[in-house]
A and B are shown apart, each in its own frame.
Chain A
């Protein structure tokens, strides 16, 4: 089965061609430079860039994969949740392509796409498993009985997402956007025990997160420092903050996995690209008798291969979206697989 995937829910326009579970091409146009000056994503700027580049990105993905539209078995596109203007660019282009090539169309939930990113690795985890979804907009622990849902949300953040906490804290440190990557890099030479962060949302049965709490703790600690932090002090602060986030995420996710008795945990979403998180996940998993699956770093941040993968699973089950498919800014993951 050959599926073209499109993703444009936020500030990345991506297209990919998947032949069964082999990624034949994966093109990502990032807008990081366009939004950097604003310290966050400007929706109208994102929409304009998507509308300008969508054709180029699709063509590049098809060319690299040496695939023509007539060879496709379907077109998968992120239809939500996300920024409505951003989503629309991908959804309308996917509809145009599907209608012209007379191929099946399937709308994909962005987070189901992130979950599916784990299936692109070899070995791929067999459901059921637990997914820790950690990205710029979401932080959830989800039980995945099978891809397609229904999914059971075991716990999620009460406020900020983990990626958002990285980005906002990086901003208070005067670092560039997106901050997660910067903190990851600076932490490498830092001492994670230099600064003490509180354990937020503690408790064995508590699977909820609060990263706004950690962000505030970071601000308190910074009040006592001479700003801006530089050199070793900056590295130490980054490493300590990162460690607090990582330990918090992993502690809860591993406990939830143990309780689920699935024995498998996948960690997906942009923050799963974090080096410390990856290392600690593998270390800690041993003690919990849990098998941890991590997508390659490129498949953690937004990409279209994961969307093609999720779409392929649904297409293979005979599912189709109508050509009238509409983008949805809000779309709870819990709504999937329930009719």
Chain B
């Protein structure tokens, strides 16, 4: 049994994957990622002994949201230590778009990182298999530089997803906004083969894919820790 958690956006979700490939999906109320514990408790009223592995959407996304999922899972895994597949939340979105749009050849996922910067990652479909585009892997990009890099690059039917889509001037076709939020059931389906292949890792030293340094580190700004 696989427990999958995706809390990188305001609309978090949890999924349970069974050996036969079936997946149960529970969405958390919008803006209520901290309901995760309650939801997991309801999904496993008899306890989580049957869980054999975990999948976690590791970001990029909301720093707080990512920490909710990660810290909850770290606490949970103290009791049930199992391998975890940490999967890019952008990869999850790309998968959703490719599933819904079989004719798509690339998906660019973008979210706003403020100050004219974007977190972006491009995924390509190559002979049926989805892989990250090494030219534009998940990372922090300057808006103007990204637009320049996009230029008139085309691979076929190229789709844009993520709430940063509106910031890009590039005239890329937008995927249905209903696909922009990474879902835990998609994550579970992506993680299953990885975990079967023994690619799971221990969770203790795991960190979210922030892909952005804290503002203070970048600017040398000083905050007081007191309220």
Contact = CB atoms under 8 A, between A and B. Distances in A.
A52 B227 contact: no
Interface string B1-41: 00000000000000000000000000000000011111011
Contacts of B216: 38, 42, 44-45
Contacts of B208: 51
A170 interface: no
Given A47-B67, A55-B74, A88-B64, A99 B223 contact: no
Interface string A37-60: 011111111111011101110110
Given A42-B223, A52-B205, A96-B37, A59 B215 contact: no
A102 interface: yes
Given A81-B227, A88-B71, A48 B64 contact: no
A312 interface: no
Given A92-B37, A97-B79, A99-B76, A48 B227 contact: no
A323 B41 contact: yes
A93 B79 CA distance: 11
A55 B74 CA distance: 5
Interface string B69-93: 0111111111110000000000000
Interface residues of B, number: 42
Contact of A62 (B78, B80, B225): B78
Contact of A93 (B71, B220, B222): B71
A90 B67 CA distance: 10
B193 interface: no
B155 interface: no
Contacts of A101: 79
A326 interface: yes
Contacts, number: 149
A136 B224 CA distance: 11
A196 to B, nearest CB: 28
Chain A residues touching B, range: 35 or more
A325 B67 CA distance: 16
A54 B205 CA distance: 9
Contact of A96 (B71, B204, B222): B71
A184 interface: no
A95 interface: yes
A69 B79 CA distance: 6
Contacts of B70: 51
A96 B226 contact: no
Interface in A84-111: 85, 88-90, 92-102
Contacts of B225: 10-11, 35, 40-43, 46, 83, 136-137
Interface string B192-227: 000000000001110110100011110011111111
A272 B134 CA distance: 55
A100 B41 CA distance: 8
A99 B63 contact: no
Contact of B214 (A44, A92, A96, A324): A44
A277 to B, nearest CB: 20
A96 B73 contact: yes
Which of A10, A38, A327, A329 counts the most chain B CB atoms within 10 A? A38
The 8 A-B pairs of least Cβ separation, nearest first, read A96-B75, A41-B225, A93-B75, A100-B79, A96-B76, A95-B37, A92-B71, A55-B74
16 contacts: A38-B221, A40-B223, A48-B214, A50-B71, A51-B70, A54-B71, A55-B204, A55-B205, A58-B74, A83-B227, A88-B64, A95-B37, A96-B40, A96-B75, A323-B38, A327-B34
Interface of B: 34-38, 40-41, 47-48, 63-64, 67-68, 70-80, 203-205, 207-208, 210, 214-217, 220-227
